[in-house]
Amino acid sequence: MALETSIVGQGLPAPYNLMAARGCEAAIREEGGVPATVAVLDGRVHVGLTAPQLERVAEKSVKVSVRDIGPVLAREQVGATTVAATVQAAWLAGIKFMATGGIGGVHRGHPEDESADLEVISFHGVAVFCAGAKIILDLRLTLERLESLSVAVLGYGTDEFPAFYTRHSGCPVSARVDGPEETARVLNAAWWDRRGRGVVVAVPPPRELDGAEAYARQAADELQGVSGADLTPRMLARVAELSGGRTLDLNVDLVIHNARVAARVARAFLAL
């Protein structure tokens, strides 16, 4: 089960970053799986980290998407992988399941600013379990883009695309699945040619944060002049400030929940 590390390096402050990473690994092991946390270290892409390696990523690392892998490898930097880079590494390693908090997408008010996550998912047959896309994004345009890329968005026990800190976005998913066994059967069918596209499995968060949408809109308005790789971490940090830190605990809970659901589906998939 692949896990990304941008949440460790840039997404969450200490100690929440390692709480999330270690909690995900523990949840996967409890469900009988093997966690494969991905990062770039010492000129190599590592699929599976030791505890000291994970701590290196948490201490100091650069954010690594697919476009950044070459320079970071050549310079032997410590790199924390995004969803896009993790999906690519997982696919190359033969891993078909990955868990994260929320995928990237199309930014509010800036439709030209689109995360590489979406296109990379469409190219690789990996199931990405997430609490939808990050609430700071334009969820409607993100779903439209996934539709254009022919990426199925499965709602795990829901007909509605989750919005990270809330279960409701008003946006429908392409199909609903209920439970690990049905999800596994749908994924198996989606990958009938063994070269299928990636699939987004949208898992509602275990609990909700009141006012999340208002916080996201305020953060987006305040950071309109920011773009590039720094935008998402800064917006999430601002939402955390506006919520009085409540988003930090919820972020840890939801990413661990996603990892546990993903592991259960992976186990059902292997039993087919």
In this predicted model, what pLDDT tens digit does every residue of 39-65 receive, in sequence order? Answer: 999 999 999 999 999 999 999 999 999
Decide if 97 contacts 109 (C-beta within 8 A).
Answer: no
Q: What structural domains and CATH numbers belong to the chain?
A: 2-270 (3.40.1790.10)
Residue 229 pLDDT greater than 70, yes or no: no
pLDDT value at position 225?
65
Active-site residues: which are they? 4, 134
CA angle 249, 253, 258 (to 5 degrees): 150
Name every residue whose Cβ is closer than 8 Å to that of residue 24 and which is 6 or more positions away in sequence.
3, 35, 37, 99, 255, 256, 258, 259
Q: What are 29's two structure tokens?
A: 């092991």
pLDDT value at position 176?
98
Decide if 25 contacts 49 (C-beta within 8 A).
Answer: no
Stretch 153-175: mean pLDDT: 95
Name every residue whose Cβ is closer than 8 Å to that of residue 96 and which is 6 or more positions away in sequence.
90, 125, 126, 127, 187, 191, 266, 269
Q: How far apart (Å, rounded) are the C-alpha atoms in residues 111 and 39?
A: 29
Q: How far apart (Å, rounded) are the C-alpha atoms in residues 126 and 159?
A: 21
Decide if 232 contacts 84 (C-beta within 8 A).
Answer: no
DSSP summary character for residue 217: H
Q: How far apart (Å, rounded) are the C-alpha atoms in residues 93 and 229?
A: 26
Stretch 1-15: mean pLDDT: 95
In which band, very low, low, confident or very high, does the pLDDT at 227 lie, cut at 50, 70 and 90? Answer: low
pTM of the model: 0.93
Q: How far apart (Å, rounded) are the C-alpha atoms in residues 65 and 81?
A: 6
**Amino acid identity for residue 177 in this structure:** V
The DSSP string of 167-206 is: S--S-B-SEEE-HHHHHHHHHHHHTTTSSPPPEEEE---S
Helix (H, G, I), strand (E, B) or coil at 135: coil
Mean confidence (pLDDT) of the chain? 93
pLDDT value at position 125?
96
